[in-house]
Amino acid sequence: MTSIISIKNLNVTSNKHVMLKDINIEIEYGDCIAILGPNGAGKTTFLKTVNGLIRQKSGTVKVLGMPLDNDIKSKIGYIPQNNYFDSLLPISVRDVISIGISAQFGIFKKFTNFDNKTIEDIAKGLNIFNLIDKPIGQLSGGESQKVSIARVLAQNPKLILMDEPLSNLDNKAQTDILNLIDFIYQEQTITLLIVVHNLTQIPKSCNKVVLIADGQIIDSGKKEDVFKHNKFKELYNL
Ligand SMILES: Nc1ncnc2c1ncn2[C@@H]1O[C@H](COP(=O)(O)OP(=O)(O)O)[C@@H](O)[C@H]1O
Ligand SMILES: [Mg+2]
């Protein structure tokens, strides 16, 4: 079985600044991986590279066994860090979820009753159907994060990338989103990569951990193994 993500000798630089150094990693289908590391370590750059958003790189990145062309990118759902919406944006929750359908089928797709039902079913599944006709900018942080998750599910992705999905949420919203991540991981055959800011933010479903520091993967493997290693303990002063 091939890996869902295969990265070989990846280096990313920007204006001579090295952002990722000699990254080599294979990620298996169905894994739920927490990506940990200090601020500025390169976690966001890593996710963007997997999503084909970074061009200044050397080495190879394959997803689903293929280079990152548009067809492959449509199978990757991405929730960026600090994913805020302007409070005056004249776009409803329904519109935002429908972006996921366009990402899957292209922007010229005509929306059918079937698509509308898909959107509504996803909203119901995530308990946000009551918000479906609200303007996106008027939701709480936790609610808008749920809408972002609904948007990527509408894309029917094989892989979901989330960049610090709990940042700037209060404790209750953090617990809500963690439960939602566990729920979608159990319901779908999906691979998840989640950048988390601290150890309490690791979803229960994550069975593996990748540690990034200073642009390099300094450790990776099963969560319980990585947690025993000195590199991990040093990074988190444990
Ligand atoms: N567009 C950019 N141009 C130049 N340097 C950048 C850019 N974006 C991020 N960096 C730098 O690259 C490094 C990695 O950043 P990032 O991937 O955002 O780290 P993290 O998500 O782990 O906090 C940091 O030193 C950051 O300052
Ligand atoms: Mg980041």
* Distance (Å) of CA 112 to CA 3, 94, 119, 186: 35, 14, 11, 28
> Per the domain annotation, does 107 fall within a domain?
yes
**Ligand 2 mean position, distance from CA 167 (Å):** 10
Q: For the sheet containing 17-27, what is the strand order?
A: 17-27, 5-14, 57-63, 66-67
- The enclosing H or E element of 231 equals helix 230-235
> Per the domain annotation, does 123 fall within a domain?
yes
The C-alpha atoms of residue 86 and residue 97 are separated, in whole angstroms, by: 16
The size of the chain, in residues, is 238
**Ligand 2 mean position, distance from CA 163 (Å):** 7
> Per the domain annotation, does 115 fall within a domain?
yes
Q: What is the pLDDT of residue 95?
A: 95
Yes or no: say if 28 and 3 are a contact pair by the CB < 8 Å rule. yes
> Per the domain annotation, does 144 fall within a domain?
yes
- Averaged pLDDT in 10-residue chunks for the chain of 238 residues: 92 92 96 96 97 90 93 94 83 95 85 92 96 95 95 96 94 95 92 93 96 97 95 89
> Per the domain annotation, does 91 fall within a domain?
yes
Domain that holds residue 92: 86-157+168-208
> Per the domain annotation, does 200 fall within a domain?
yes
Indicate which CATH number applies to the domain containing 148. Answer: 3.40.50.300
> Per the domain annotation, does 59 fall within a domain?
no
Q: Provide the whole-model pTM.
A: 0.95
> Per the domain annotation, does 74 fall within a domain?
no
Ion ligand 2: protein residues whose beta carbon lies under 5 Å: 43-44
The 10 Å Cβ neighbour count of residue 83 is 19
CA atoms within 13 A on the CB side of 181: 31
- What is the number of the ligand closest to the CA of 35? 1
Q: What is the pLDDT of residue 165?
A: 95
What ligand 1 atom has the least distance to the C-alpha of 212? 22
Q: What is the pLDDT of residue 33?
A: 98
Instruction: Say how many domains are in the chain.
Output: 1
Q: What is the pLDDT of residue 1?
A: 65
* CB within 8 Å of 175: residues ≥ 6 apart: none
